Amino acid sequence: MTELVPIPDPGVPLWFGEAGRPLVVVLHDAYGRLPAIHPFAEALARQGFRVVVPDLYDGFCTIDDVTAASLAGDLDIRFVADTIDALIEDARNDGTLRVGVVGFATGGRLALLHAQGGATDAVVAYYATLRPEEHGVIPEPVLLHFAEADSWEEGADPEEFVTRLKDHGTPVVEHEYLGTRRSFANASIPDRVDTRAAALAFARTATFLQRELDG
């Protein structure tokens, strides 16, 4: 893969906000920990959260679609789950009581998979669903952000996914952003970002997390 770009602090989780506050784990999309995720995390920290952004690609990112798909395809789900669990444990050792996970695209799928374990109190997924064969019960509240234009694998259609969540009794809120495409909240992908939709999605995310984690 020739489109890989090294990132600062390779392999090191980036922490923001005050220790002991409710934790939000932010999982990057298939492109890796691009710079745009930093202001997102900082903005969440200003809302009163302890925020951590792991590097799931061990020091690299990309803006190339083919390279991103290859990187995402090589991710080990157990490694990601163990990474999230270790970060949660670190935060709990510092006094955190409640935990949420926010994920973008690939990170959203991983957040939804991890949520089935019941170790967190809320989950937010941007442009992500689960296929029927990988979907178990998600016991915590779910917030979903969808682009208007997107493509999905068979069985991963958002309407079908939301129906399954509701059938399982999962509290779920969904929003679709008109005129947007997948990655509309990633300012490091300038041909897809929609700043107004991203700002609205962030406001809804912050409100949702405050309700579920600060209560």
d(CA 52, CA 185): 18
Q: One digit per residue, pLDDT tens: the chain, 215 residues?
A: 468 999 999 999 999 999 999 999 999 999 999 999 999 999 999 999 999 999 999 999 999 999 999 999 999 999 999 999 999 999 999 999 999 999 999 999 999 999 999 999 999 999 999 999 999 999 999 999 999 999 998 889 999 999 999 999 999 999 999 999 999 999 999 999 999 999 999 999 999 999 999 86
Q: How many domains does the chain have?
A: 1
Structural domain of 15: 5-213
- Return the SS3 of 145: strand
For the full predicted model, state whether its pTM sits above 0.95.
Answer: yes
DSSP letter for each residue of 148-175: EE----TT--HHHHHHHHHHTT--EEEE
d(CA 91, CA 26): 14
d(CA 204, CA 44): 12
CB 111 within 8 A of CB 75: no
Write the CA distances from 150 to 38, 69, 131, 184, integer angstroms.
25, 15, 15, 11
Token code pair at residue 62: 């990309």
The 10s digit of each residue's pLDDT in 91-139 is 999 999 999 999 999 999 999 999 999 999 999 999 999 999 999 999 9
147: CATH: 3.40.50.1820
The 10s digit of each residue's pLDDT in 198-207 is 999 999 999 9
Token code pair at residue 2: 């020739």
Sign of CA pseudo-dihedral 77, 131, 28, 143: negative
